[in-house]
Amino acid sequence: MPAFGPLSVRAMFDEMYDIANQLVLLWARRGPDYKIAVTDDFTRLTLDTIALCAMGFRFNSFYQDEMHPFVAAMNTTLGAGSSRARIPGIVQKFMFSANEQLRASSQYQKDIAAQLVQHRRDHATEKKDLLNAMIYGKDLKTGETMRDELIAANMITFLIAGHETTSGLLSFAFLNLLKNPDTYFKAQQEVGRVVGKSKLTVDHLKDLKYINAVLRETLRLTPTAPAYARRVRDENKEHPPTLGKGEYVLERDWTILCLVSKIQKDPKVYGEDANDFRPERMLDEEFEKLPKAAWKPFGTGIRACIGRPFAWQEALLVTALLLQNFNFRLDDPSYEMQIKANLTIKPRDFYMRASLRSGITPTTLQASLVAPMGGLKVSNANAPASESGHTQRRGNRMTVLYGSDTGTCQALSQKVASDARQHGYEASIAEMDSAVDKLPKQEPVIFVTASYEGQPTDNAAYFVAWLQSLKDEKALDGVNFAVFGCGHSDWAATFQRIPRLVETTLEGLGAKKFADRGSSDAAQGDMFSDFDTWADQVFWPSVVSNFGVKPADSAPAPAEMKVEMEISTKSRAVQLQQDVQQGTITAAKVLTAPGELQKRHLEIKLPEDMEYETGDYLAVLPLNPDDSVRRVLAKFSLPWDATVTIKSGGPVNLPDNKPVSAFDLLKGYVELSVPVTKKNLQACLTHANSPATTAALADLSGPAYHEKIVVSRLSLLDILERHPDISLPFGSFLAMLPPMRPRHYSISSSPLHNAAVCSITYGVIDAASLSGHGRFIGVTGSYLSSLHAGDQTQVSVRKSNKLFHLPPDAANTPLIMFAAGTGLAPFRGFVQERATQLAAGRALAPALLFLGCRSATADRLYAREMDEWASLGAVDVRYAFSREPERSAGCKYVQERMLRDRQDIFDLWDRGGKVFLCGGPGMVEGVRAAAKEMVSQRAKDRGLDGTEERAEKWLKGMRNERIVVDVFA
């Protein structure tokens, strides 16, 4: 009889390593542009690993396109078990097709397990694995061995449970690392310190302490088995049975569901940042300080996971091996975790891309996986692209990299990429994250990026973290760069932080800045013109002086861009393709009285699998008003059914080489109402045909530009209509327009009320134009107000400032909120969530809302709801009616009401309250001034330094700790 017992740690590691190598080589050969279906490939990995280590069997999942049929059968049985719990038994009997599929899937799993057992009996081995232990092991009392059918049943259990949980752990771990790139590079650097270029061995695992903490923190936030059930034991004779020292009485037939995922986010244990991914809290010394039962991802008691050591070794090995050889990035930088559940939970629709690290090719990688890497030539992590397996680009090439959440920086990048052709350059454009470890050298690189509350945008966070992780002062020697930064000065403490950080960090790593940094302030409403001025006066002259241009006869003159096209009167509709999905309008209504500036409410059924949190944004891709489109068609004498075919080489945001309806092109691809830029005014000058128009354009593009163009919001179309003698071709007009961008609205609902539907609250601008021409119609407000129940719209959920959400310890953290008008939107979501929690029996700390309106009857938004929620105790509303101050304690504005009720604010602040502020710049500034006055006076009352400067400094110190602000234009 063969010997049996536990497989040795080293032997088990070798088999794990064998399967992991297959995954590594597969991803290496697929290349950096392949979308990795993360959970699918980790499922292949863990299934093959447990089958080989525990049973000596190879599923060979990486050698076939589809998942092994065992996985499909497993998913069928697990899915059926979950769904049938909600279906009456009598109904289940008539589910003939589903019942047959379930029977076939269950039988297939039994057949596979039986074959494994029979194969081992037919081919006996000395291997000390789990299967031999079950076949040859004897009961200590009876001396009997296990029946084959019982062994097969246990095989099914081990295969399912053993691979599902670990694949989920690995998937969540990589998602957490990529969503928190500073942790990603800490983990990768630990692999570099511990393993270096050597072959990974079992002896390395004990020293991977940070990755160990990453896995612990991942299982804390997303335990792959998120709950376990308990009931009163039969031998418990207590009458009645209780929990919590008699506080909770239990019925004997009750089943108690213990939510591990909630237990492990208790802010009393893990702090106010309990929902954040912070591996440092799970390092050994900190981990040992945790209270008993604060971390239970593997279950508890005698039913706890017996495969924990196996799973842990596998997860450590795979994580380290992948980080050693690849740089990863999210396929979609704005991806937010969504959950799919069967027996366990995993992230749904999670994709990433993998690039081999510098100096590694698929060929050298294959050799290194079976032999030490010390003898291989591996360049440093910052080698030029040509040394990293990327083709070296020659000639007048340029790279444009952008970091953009709202689309502005992306639009500016598209503009410079289009302009590059006019200066003799061929430009490539990409997100900043795509340039990690492969910044091109010996060519100009321009970064166009923004800050969001001092943090990088979603598609630049990975790149910024990578920059900050580099230590070699010559790491980026040979990179030539320029930076243009966008920002909003209302966030004074962090204004332009990321553009400055990118610039100084690049220089500190040996890169050469060839042009002074440009910048623009969104508060001035002049970003496109600022960019044009910087590009024309600083950037392009610096490019020419440092890199030269193509010969004049091979490059078009840079005087004017135009779109080469053919125009036909044969209409042909096109379907827009944007980075959004279709939502369905379920309700739309006006919130204000007739005659008032319209404030409206819109409810949208989100696309399947799109989730949101209270406080998030909804991005809406709008359409230009029909009237604006008709004005353009009339100006250029185009029939309504004209079709445009744009030839290659035009602006990168426009579809090329396919017919597009001119109406659709103008309605959905370009911005028609943004202020005309100085550069475009200069272009119009070349087409002016009268001295009066020439003089007017010269005046508008001079010192009067901001007042007469930006403040009055005078568009290019307005200019052409005001001066009909400007003979600007339609192609040039189209090239001057920035691409249509999505608009972001605070979601005004809570998923606790309805997870499938969210609402937004918005205003509609339809007023006399400040330009003196007709009316100014707000693009998105006009578009949204045209939608009715049943209509489709293109939307996506975007994360707001992570601090602009309800605090995790809602029972002990009071809320102090300030808003005016549609600034109420996020707070309606807050209060709706609190009302839902109160209705479910939750205890909550107080919430105080200061809300500015014009009148109690004209524009008191959501009046009935707010009154009902106030009666529940979900909120205490303090109104300020600007037209009816007698109805709001004599206060016209929010800042007056807050000064009057300052003691209530201080009471909640002293109890640990958090402050949230949402409104326009004027309202925000008023609240800020009142807060400064309150803090100053309180300090004086206590005999402290109460100067305004000290009060302002203190308030700034609280920003993004206990005070969170969202300013909208």
> Which single residue is written with the structure tokens 């903490």?
213
Tokens at residue 26, please? 């597969």
Please classify residue 585 by burial: count the beta carbons closer than 10 Å to its beta carbon, then call 0-12 exposed, 13-18 middle and 19+ buried.
Answer: middle
792-798/581-590 β-pairing: antiparallel
Tokens at residue 370, please? 């079976």
Compute how many other C-beta atoms are within 10 angstroms of the C-beta atom of residue 472.
12
Compute how many other C-beta atoms are within 10 angstroms of the C-beta atom of residue 845.
18
- DSSP percent split of the chain into helix, strand, coil, nearest 5: 45, 15, 40
Selected catalytic residue, list 174, 277, 298, 733 = 298
Element housing 865 (H / E): helix 863-872
Where would I find the H helices in 123-180?
A: 130-136, 148-179
963-967/914-919 β-pairing: parallel
Tokens at residue 639, please? 């029939």
**Cα–Cα nearest to 73, from 113, 119, 42, 23:** 113
Chain-centroid distance, C-alpha 779: 26
> Has 539 been annotated as catalytic?
no
Q: In the 8-state DSSP scheme, what is residue 823?
A: G
617, HSE (Cβ side, Cα atoms, 13 Å) = 18
- 453 φ/ψ sector (left φ>0, alpha ψ -120 to 50, else beta): left
Q: Who contacts 285 (Cβ-Cβ below 8 Å, separation ≥6)?
A: none
> Has 165 been annotated as catalytic?
yes
Q: Who contacts 773 (Cβ-Cβ below 8 Å, separation ≥6)?
A: 718, 721, 722
Selected catalytic residue, list 62, 305, 547, 857 = 305
Tokens at residue 532, please? 């044009």
> Has 183 been annotated as catalytic?
no
Q: Strand pairing partners for 794? A: 582
> Following DSSP, what letter does each residue of 178-232 receive, concatenated?
HHSHHHHHHHHHHHHHHTTTSPP-HHHHTT-HHHHHHHHHHHHHS-SS-EEEEE-
Q: How many angstroms separate the Cα of 820 from the Cα of each of 445, 732, 879, 924, 963?
A: 43, 42, 9, 9, 17
The helices-and-strands tally (H runs, E runs) of the chain is 34, 32
Selected catalytic residue, list 77, 165, 224, 761 = 165
**Cα–Cα nearest to 337, from 565, 171, 111:** 171
Contact status, residue 314 vs residue 16, Cβ threshold 8 Å: yes
Active site positions, annotated: 165, 298, 305
